[in-house]
Amino acid sequence: MEHRTFARLREVLRDCSLEPGEVVAVLSESTSRGALVEAARLAAADLGGQVFDVVVPTPANPGPVALRSTGSSIALSGHPAAVAALAASQLVLDCTVEGLLHAPELPLILAGGARVLMIGNEDPEAFDRFVVDPQLRVRVERGLARLRAATTFRVTSAAGTDLTVQLEAAFTACSWGATSGPSTVAHYPGGLVVAFPAVGTVNGRVVLAPGDLNLTFKEYLRTPVTLEFENDRIVRIVGDGLDAELLRSYLSAFDEDEAYSISHVGWGMHTGARWDALAMVDKADTNGLEARVFAGNFLLSTGANENAGRYTRGHFDFPMRGCTITLDGETIVEAGVLLGDLA
């Protein structure tokens, strides 16, 4: 562990309002990144937290394909005692490889009043560039307020994207990189505003263009791929290149409609995050959180959506450049650039 990683996570935990005497659980699995687990534990202890570890074995992958960047760790499956310990804590530092965001156990943990901070499974070097910025929280919460006040979310692009999301009954959330208050969850690095649409509220097409990111494959797209949506579900994947062929092959392996369905939509707001950062790291050294939050990206995600009652291990996050996002006709992102007081 590098001291600078400890120091950065200490800043983050202060931003999470960690107070002396609070019970802090550090959740990890056998394949977690040891340096991050140690840094999280020591940072929490240095701030006076009553720290304990919950360590579970990483289960075998049941197949049928390799799983990467699902946001749905299966490490807690079959461990009710571990879940109970986490639910009894005040702060949970989630250092699992995939994170608990879409894990079925997360609602049980939050129901106990715990707040959960997912610490991204990233090369610690990435954290050097993600300082705690109070203004990021202000802008992200402002973006969330705009989203919650809207009824229609529309995204278009010069590449041909034209997708409409009806926001009635959508679950909306944000993360600036810290968690505050009981039963809340966030991820670090942060800078994201998202909506989990209700059933049957998403229609149109998304054109993934060269330079957009596929964070399950940890790659940039080289060839255009069109995803056509009807009532939340991808009904056609159009494209002649390898990117389209790989998507069709991977999604078909799950043999379930949920893998083809919308998980969430949103946009990135972290002005310090870079879309090109993925080019500088090996696949095993990143879970792609920086790519999810770079300012002005449109984030399209497919797979698990608890708000719509859908669970699946098939999950894709596609941060896209150059898109225009409107809320009830008001443009908040124009051709990939945040506008007004969101910038």
Q: Residue 179: what residue type?
A: T
What is the per-residue pLDDT across 267-316, written as a single tens digit (0 to 9) for each?
A: 999 999 999 999 999 998 898 999 999 999 999 999 989 999 988 888 99
The string of pLDDT tens digits covering residues 216-258 is 999 999 999 999 999 999 999 999 999 999 999 999 999 999 9
pLDDT attached to residue 124: 86
Positive or negative CA dihedral for 28, 30, 32, 37?
Answer: positive
In this predicted structure, the answer to whether residue 71 has a pLDDT above a threshold of 80 is no
115 and 152 within one domain: no
Same structural domain, 101 and 142:
no
- Please indicate, yes or no, whether residues 162 and 141 belong to a single structural domain of this protein: yes
Q: How confident is the model at residue 199 (pLDDT cuts 50, 70, 90)?
A: very high
Pair (164, 307) in one structural domain: yes
Domain shared by 215 and 80, yes or no: no
Residues 138 and 117 grouped into a single domain: no
Which distant-in-sequence residues (6+ apart) come within 8 Å of 26 by Cβ?
37, 40, 41, 44, 51, 52, 53, 54, 93, 95
Q: How many domains does the chain divide into?
A: 2
The answer on 20 and 110 residing in a single domain is: yes
Phi, psi of 80 (to 5 degrees): -60, -30
User: Distance between CA 184 and CA 119 in Å, rounded?
Assistant: 14
Whether residue 181 sits in one domain with residue 73: no
Residue 11 lies in a domain: yes
| Confidence (pLDDT) at 220 | 98
Residues 184 and 218 in one domain: yes
* Positive or negative: CA dihedral 265, 270, 274, 280: negative
d(CA 168, CA 148): 9
- Domain containing 169 equals 134-342
Task: Indicate whether 94 and 143 sit together in one domain.
Answer: no
Helices (H), the chain: 3-15, 34-46, 80-87, 106-111, 125-128, 134-149, 242-252, 289-293
